[in-house]
Structure 1
Amino acid sequence: MFLRIFNRCASTATASRPTSFTFPQRLNRSPTAILESLNSCVQTDGGNPAYIFMDDPFLIPTSGHEKRQLALSKAS
């Protein structure tokens, strides 16, 4: 039984293959083209804290006063 299934799968796999393949022409892109296309697809998550507050997750400020105090302390 296994041999019949194997032969059937092998015969359909070889019959559906194309006879020749041609590579597409090379596209000329800038060095940052892929990054620019990814940037257009991905949106920023507004629920995350700002990058300046990412040192320690335990110390992420929750109020506006704490955010200002932490930003001023890092600036000094």
Structure 2
Amino acid sequence: MLEYRYDTQLLIEGNNLNEDAINEYFTNNFNGDCLLAVGDDELIKIHYHTNEPWKVLEYCSTLGEIFDIVIEDMERQSKGLKG
């Protein structure tokens, strides 16, 4: 069994985005691993493994417009099923 079930990926488009601040927020407020939050002050790519992807979406939506959202169930994928 995986510790963190959902692979959560999305893009955030906004103004004055700060990848360091986003990384720090994730580290201090979410349980998960494999965090990737990279980009510039207008577009950030998020990749994160968590059991609560809705919390990630809720937070990211406060930073700007979120799109290209993908949430994959890695538990199902490990069993050979569609995630």
Q: TM-score, normalised by structure 1?
A: 0.21
Larger relative strand fraction: 2
Q: Which structure is larger by alpha-carbon Rg, 1 or 2?
A: 1
Larger relative helix fraction: 1
Q: TM-score, normalised by structure 2?
A: 0.20
